[in-house]
Amino acid sequence: MLRKNVFLLSVRDGKAGRTSAVQDMVVCSTDGKAARELLIEKHPDLTILAVTGLVMLEERVAKIRAVLGGSDTSWPIVVDSRLG
């Protein structure tokens, strides 16, 4: 499976509405739109909250590491003082 064809979809039970827990599902498809359409076809009762590609997730992780390491200052870091 190519990384560009792997998507993380955050969903919720559409019948239960906002009270249901958010679940993450992995969908393999040609693109984000097709992943959304496939999930709706297979699970019409789910409400899709977000679609994120694996490539984007990997890029975000790399950016977070760079920000925490100090080599990238484009995002602010907010630290809870209770962390110690």
Query: What is the block-wise mean pLDDT of the chain (84 residues), using blocks of 10 residues?
Result: 97 88 97 97 96 98 97 96 91
Q: What is the pLDDT of residue 15?
A: 85
Q: What is the pLDDT of residue 16?
A: 85
Half-sphere exposure of 36 (CA within 13 A, CB side): 10
Q: Which helix (H) or strand (E) holds 49?
A: strand 46-53
Residue 69 lies in a domain: yes
Alpha-carbon Rg for the chain in angstroms: 17
Q: What is the pLDDT of residue 17?
A: 77
Residue 83 lies in a domain: no
Residue 67 lies in a domain: yes
Residue 80 lies in a domain: no
Contacts of 31 (CB under 8 A, 6+ apart): none
Total number of domains in the chain: 1
Q: Which domain holds residue 9?
A: 3-73
Q: Which helix (H) or strand (E) holds 63?
A: helix 54-69
